[in-house]
């Protein structure tokens, strides 16, 4: 590695860029309901807007993953900075559905471009400790959500507008853009190791990689759909629904900070199995209880989804290294694409559940009360439907553990 490569500074700047990504999730999850009121948007429209960030994300990761080896990680991060800046400013000055739609799309593209650049950057900076450092890097995703939801909670308490809340994202955006502009970057690991493009694309057909892509659909939906919609789904069940997200993501920050000893003790595939079990248990509690037990569910769920995303990427990078930056970015892109599709489907499902629970002959003066009660019942039903996904993942990751154990024994 060149003496001009300042590993620590690059890693810190990468974390700052991911912080902007996570703030966009945390703050948007917190202001989503208020934007619906401000612009008279239906739950289905809110779901579509939220899902737009997940459309832009996989698009950027797919494109970024295929060109990062060619144009370099630094140029991709310049593009991320431009998209972040444009998306945040447009959100601040949004006037309705379509401006929110476009601004969310731009932020989603920026978020995906950050991941397309920074995931291979971290593996290039730390080739002998990929899974641990990816967990350390990705702790800034839940960390930023904690910061974002606290900003929403506190700013709402003192009566500051959603525009000011969104504007807070400009601070780390400018900081990471400036930091990266001053630093030299290494080559991606695939380029530096001499793996050809044809070898890389051939390795994407490995059955193990295809299996991990399918599992990524489930891990991403379990983590990100629940996090992005928890305020909408449970706000009529709990007076502090947004704090459930804060607790869940706070647990994730702590867990990812201690990823090193956990991953080394249980192996990446072992961590994924434990994560699926805890995620299923946490979702069950969130969907079947009320009051203080919701906070217990949030803690267990946070422990469950804590290691999903970075450990999935780390597993692929360690066990299928020839897939390179394209492999890592296909994993992330697949996860975000699955979330976007699932979010649209479930927002429509939520609307139908709510409408089905409102009697046709409800008096106009009782409509608000009846609707709130319908939402109180519908939210947990959506969570219970999502519970099936981590249950399936438990079976899948149990099989993965057996496969890796037999592979190691045969080696």
Whose CA is closest to 301, among 273, 285, 282? 282
CA distance 67 to 72: 8
Fold of 7-410: Growth Hormone; Chain: A; (1.20.1250)
Ordered by start, the domain boundaries in the chain are 7-410
Whose CA is closest to 115, among 262, 334, 389? 334
Whose CA is closest to 86, among 59, 73, 104? 104
Given a cut of 50, is residue 7 above it in pLDDT? yes
Q: Label residue 234 by pLDDT band (50, 70, 90).
A: low
**In 207-323, where does DSSP find H-type helix?**
207-220, 226-234, 241-257, 259-288, 293-305, 308-319
| pLDDT tens by residue, 308-338 | 999 999 999 999 988 988 899 899 889 988 9
What pLDDT does 1 receive? 46
Whose CA is closest to 113, among 157, 156, 76? 76
Give the pair of three-digit tokens for residue 111: 């978020």
Q: CA-based Rg of the chain, rounded to a whole angstrom?
A: 21
CA 34 to chain centre: 22
| pLDDT tens by residue, 55-84 | 788 888 888 888 888 888 999 999 999 999
| pLDDT tens by residue, 30-45 | 777 777 788 888 877 8
Residues 6+ apart with CB under 8 A from 164: 155
Q: Label residue 241 by pLDDT band (50, 70, 90).
A: low
Length of the chain equals 411
Answering whether pTM is above 0.85, one says no
CA distance 403 to 381: 35
């Amino acid at each position: 590695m060149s003496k001009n490569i300042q590993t620590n500074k690059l890693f810190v700047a990468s974390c700052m860029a991911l912080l902007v990504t996570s703030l966009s999730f945390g703050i948007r999850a917190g202001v989503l309901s208020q934007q619906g009121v401000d612009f008279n948007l239906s739950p289905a429209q809110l779901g579509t807007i939220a899902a737009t960030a997940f459309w832009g994300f996989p698009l950027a990761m797919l494109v970024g993953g295929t060109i990062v080896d060619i144009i370099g990680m630094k140029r991709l991060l310049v593009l991320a900075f431009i998209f972040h800046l444009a998306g945040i400013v447009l959100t601040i000055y949004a006037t309705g559905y379509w401006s929110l739609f476009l601004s969310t799309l731009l932020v989603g593209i920026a978020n995906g471009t950050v991941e397309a650049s920074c995931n291979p950057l971290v593996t290039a900076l730390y080739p002998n400790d990929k899974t641990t450092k990816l967990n350390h890097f990705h702790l800034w995703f839940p960390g930023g959500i904690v910061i974002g939801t606290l900003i929403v909670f506190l700013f709402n308490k003192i009566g500051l507008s959603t525009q000011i809340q969104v504007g807070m994202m400009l601070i780390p955006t400018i900081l990471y853009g400036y930091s990266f502009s001053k630093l030299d970057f290494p080559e991606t690991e695939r380029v530096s190791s001499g793996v050809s493009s044809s070898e890389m694309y051939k390795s994407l057909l490995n059955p193990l990689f295809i299996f991990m892509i399918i599992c990524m659909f489930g891990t991403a939906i379990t983590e990100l759909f629940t996090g992005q919609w928890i305020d909408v789904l449970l706000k009529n069940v709990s007076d502090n629904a947004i704090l459930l997200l804060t607790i869940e993501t706070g647990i994730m920050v702590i867990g990812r900070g201690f990823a090193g000893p956990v991953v080394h003790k249980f192996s990446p595939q072992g961590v994924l199995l434990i994560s699926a079990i805890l995620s299923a248990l946490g979702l069950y509690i969130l969907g079947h209880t009320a009051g203080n037990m919701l906070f217990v569910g949030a803690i267990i769920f946070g422990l469950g989804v804590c290691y999903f995303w970075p450990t999935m990427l780390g597993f692929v990078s360690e066990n299928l290294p020839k897939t390179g930056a394209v492999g890592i970015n296909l994993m992330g892109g697949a996860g975000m694409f699955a979330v976007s599709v699932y979010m649209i489907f479930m927002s429509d499902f939520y609307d139908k559940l709510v409408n089905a629970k409102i009697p046709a002959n409800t008096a106009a003066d009782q409509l608000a009360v009846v609707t709130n009660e319908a939402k109180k019942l519908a939210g947990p039903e959506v969570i219970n439907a999502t519970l099936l996904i981590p249950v399936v993942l438990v079976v899948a990751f149990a099989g993965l553990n057996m496969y890796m154990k037999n592979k190691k024994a045969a080696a």
